[in-house]
Chains A and B, each alone.
Chain A
Amino acid sequence: MRKILYRDIVEATAKACIEANIIASSDLIEAYQRAITKEVDELSGRIMHDLYENAKLAKSHHLPICQDTGTAVIFLEIGQNVLIDGGFLMDAFQEGVADGYQKGYLRKSIVSHPLTRKNTGNNTPAVIHVDIVAEDVFKVTVAPKGGGSENMSRLKMLTPSEGLEGFKEFVFETIRLAGPNPCPPIVVGACLGGNFESCALQAKKNLLRPIGQRHSDPELSILEEKWLEEINALHIGPQGFGGKTTAFDVHLEFLPCHIASMPAAVNLNCHVSRHQQFEL
């Protein structure tokens, strides 16, 4: 048995919320830089330059890169031999999120009820996904997710006869319908297969993969490269005003599914693709 202290989880979660929202990861910084060199037109070049400056300014002035500091989405990988000492594991994450959003001057964007819409005041509840794994791992990814890009995400229960073409059509239709709304350049997380809920969750998990990192399966890796090129040929461009960079990357996954089903999910992320990891 390995013991992990409740307090340590609270503190590490709070810190990860703040850092994820204020410090752009190196893969994102590189994506901005690559886009600046590609966007030779005056307007799209200016936009990419401004977005890059914004990320640098956020870090140096200790401000959130985007005011929408998101729903705090937490992915936990916990080994079956881990014991939490001093409190309930899920409370530790919620307390950490509340602390981090308060101390980091991050926006509190969560309402307690979809209709009455009263703000909870501390950005909880966080959305927490748990994977139980072997041994004594305790690995956490905090991925704040903005509302604008989340609203443009879609799921559809395709039929097996629609095949890869049906999946592609759905992904591209989603991107076209979203247009300027999800703050392009976007990151596309898409999944084919699984069931209703696992498909959507996998699409979201795909957004955690660093920009520029290809799938380990050569078939998917080739598909990602091809689709990225075609998405960028849509000419939606930075902020939807045209240009060569509609997406920074596309991350795909296939999952096993029922003989009757072929669900497809597309989770879009804005250019402020945020994820911060820690291990205890």
Chain B
Amino acid sequence: MEVIHLQTPLKQEDVKGLRAGDYLLISGIMYTARDSAHRRMIEALDNHRPLPIPLPGSIIYYAGPAPAPPGKPIGSIGPTTSYRMDSYAPRLIEEGLSMMIGKGSRNKLVQQAMIDHEAVYCAAWGGAGALLAGCVKNAKCIAYEELGPEAIYELEVENFPVMVVNDTIGQDAYELMGGQQ
């Protein structure tokens, strides 16, 4: 399988060139955020307050890690199901977010936002949290700590494996490969 190596912050031309089904190894920084963190970020945008993370060139990873055992930067950290973030994602994409990582399908509004604003959505293997934890070299909680596993963590990753699901030309890997209508 052909492998594309990507380094963050993502460049616009890199994102534009990705196609559904591409297998990527990502190195650099990504930010975890799931349901509650998204709600807070949208509230911040609505109230013209700064976000805790930069969006252009950035990757949001839909994940809530298990606590770090002694001597490890983080516990198991696989993706959560992405559709729950569909109501928030278009707004963040409009604000410049370059990539989302999760698992499962996105709705048409999110897919259209990705076409309009040149962002992509990728899947990591769901239920492979121990394996993916091995790609995380450092982790620190940078916002909403009181949310526990739903807080925003800044992860420093090395060769973090994902597959492109939705690209900037409207393709969907689940439809192309997985018998999904």
Residues of A within 8 A of B (CB): 42-43, 46-47, 50-51, 53-55, 57-58, 61-69, 105-109, 117, 119, 121, 146-148, 151, 179-181, 183, 234-237, 239-242, 270-272
Contacts and interface: CB of A to CB of B under 8 A. Distances in A.
Nearest to B123: A239
Q: Is the interface of A mostly helix, strand, loop or mixed?
A: loop
Q: Lowest 7 A-B CB distances belong to which pairs?
A: A235-B179, A183-B126, A181-B104, A58-B130, A67-B129, A54-B131, A67-B76
24 contacts: A50-B131, A51-B127, A54-B129, A57-B130, A58-B76, A58-B130, A63-B130, A65-B76, A67-B76, A67-B149, A68-B80, A69-B66, A105-B75, A106-B67, A119-B149, A147-B80, A148-B126, A181-B103, A181-B105, A234-B179, A240-B174, A240-B180, A241-B163, A242-B179
A62 B177 CA distance: 34
Interface in B124-181: 125-131, 133-134, 147-150, 161, 163, 173-174, 177-180
B122 to A, nearest CB: 12
Interface residues of B, number: 42
A121 B147 CA distance: 10
B66 A107 contact: yes
B104 A67 contact: no
A22 B69 CA distance: 13
Nearest to B131: A54
Contacts, number: 150
B130 A65 contact: yes
Given A63-B76, A179-B174, 12 more contacts: A47-B125, A54-B128, A54-B129, A63-B75, A67-B63, A148-B103, A151-B81, A180-B174, A180-B180, A236-B179, A239-B126, A242-B179
Nearest to A102: B67
Contacts of A146: 127
B130 A61 contact: yes
B77 interface: yes
A242 B150 CA distance: 31
Interface string B26-60: 00000000001000000000000000000000000
